[in-house]
Amino acid sequence: MGWCWLVLCKQPSSSICSPGWLTCRSLPPGALGRIADTVADRLRVPWFAGAVKINVSLVPPLVLLPVFLHVAALHFLLGLVILTSLPVVVLWYYYLTHRRKERTLFFLSLGLFSLGYMYYVFLQEVVPRGHVGFSQVVALTCGLILMLAALSRAKKDPGYIPIPASSDKSSHQDLPKSVRGSCNGLPGVTTSGPASNRAVNGEAKGYSRMSAEELEGVKKDWCAKCQLVRPARAGHCRLCGRCVRRLDHHCVWINSCVGEQNHQAFILALSFFMLTSVYGITLTLHTICRGRTPFVALFYCPGAYSDYSSALSFTCVWYCAIVTAGMGYILVIQLLNISYNVTEREARLALRDNTGRRLLGGLVIDTGQYNRGFLCNWGHFLSLGSSPPQHSAEDIV
């Protein structure tokens, strides 16, 4: 039962079913939003245990991507227009959802379906031509499997900091009253709440007076939304609504944060994707543009539109090349950040506060705060997640 149906409830006279829509009268404020919510709520797929609701953001890639690629294969100019428009549309939708602070499965769905569809076209259109060996198909398949395994690991817990129980939140509404610096520069909570009542003339027995610098450090690490003191380098993700240890960024392509626990898997997934994609592009171009190097064939392949099968394969190659170029840029930025031991979040904050140095033409922002040299920085990255996570402020207090 691979179909789905759309059931729209009866709308009041002021909604889309009213004659006002047919007479081109303006819709009331919020009508389009209610229409979208109604469509999203009524879009379901029949299943054994009853109709299953579909996330509407999953549908466009499944429907539009094959249509656009097949239309682009009809003529060179159509391919040029469509392949130029697709990145623009994707970027527009990214900025739209990012501005609204919305989580969406659109990008994850687009990425996974693109992989599956490109693999299907490769098996259906390229392999039957007889120029791709069995071992090459196996190598491409293994690369795809390894990439999906790394992606599955990257989708797991990025290092969320446990949110204190509701019963404990009331006692932590105010900032902790004092902190001390540890040997590695990470703040630690020493006392809070009633302990401050024992202070006499600004000092207390067994407690030290907190300086303005320490107070500023506590304010910086305090998350008002999660009601906790974050460890150093942790950050609050406004899309996930959680604090993450060593938060790098929220990646829309995996619909999750990249943090201390999944950063390595994220880099592995990007690396396997790059290797697999470049290998698949090379095999396809060697098949449909024989006698030319892959780079030359990508821009000059006279026989690409001689038949529809070659045209579709060539169009998919260009689509893969555009996606690979974008992912390659992300991977390069990530590798440079790791080499300087800086996260995307720290780089943005450094740019905002004008405290970082632009290096390599602005590709990386060196904050200088955690940079210990190339080898030490990579050693630190490879050890992420191997040591037990630091305790939260609620466990210390």
- Summary mean pLDDT of the chain: 78
Two tokens at 183? 């040997």
- Collapsed DSSP state (helix, strand, coil) of residue 69: helix
pLDDT at 25: 61
- Considering 226, 243, 251, 316, which one is annotated as catalytic? 251
Is it the case that residue 210 has pLDDT exceeding 70?
A: no
Across-strand partners of 228? 223
CB-based contact 8:38 (threshold 8 Å): yes
Domain boundaries, the chain: 61-160+255-334
Q: What is the average pLDDT across 367-376? A: 91
Instruction: Please write the tens of the pLDDT for every residue from 77-119.
Output: 999 999 999 999 998 988 888 777 778 889 999 999 999 999 9
289 is catalytic: no
- Alpha helical stretches, state H, 202-293: 212-221, 263-288
How many angstroms separate the CA atoms of 337 and 347, rounded?
9
Two tokens at 75? 């003529």
The whole-model pTM stands at 0.75
How many angstroms separate the CA atoms of 32 and 338, rounded?
44
Identity of the amino acid at 367: T
How many angstroms separate the CA atoms of 252 and 135, rounded?
34
Across-strand partners of 107? none
Number of H helices, E strands in the chain: 14, 13
C-alpha 171 chain-centroid distance:
35
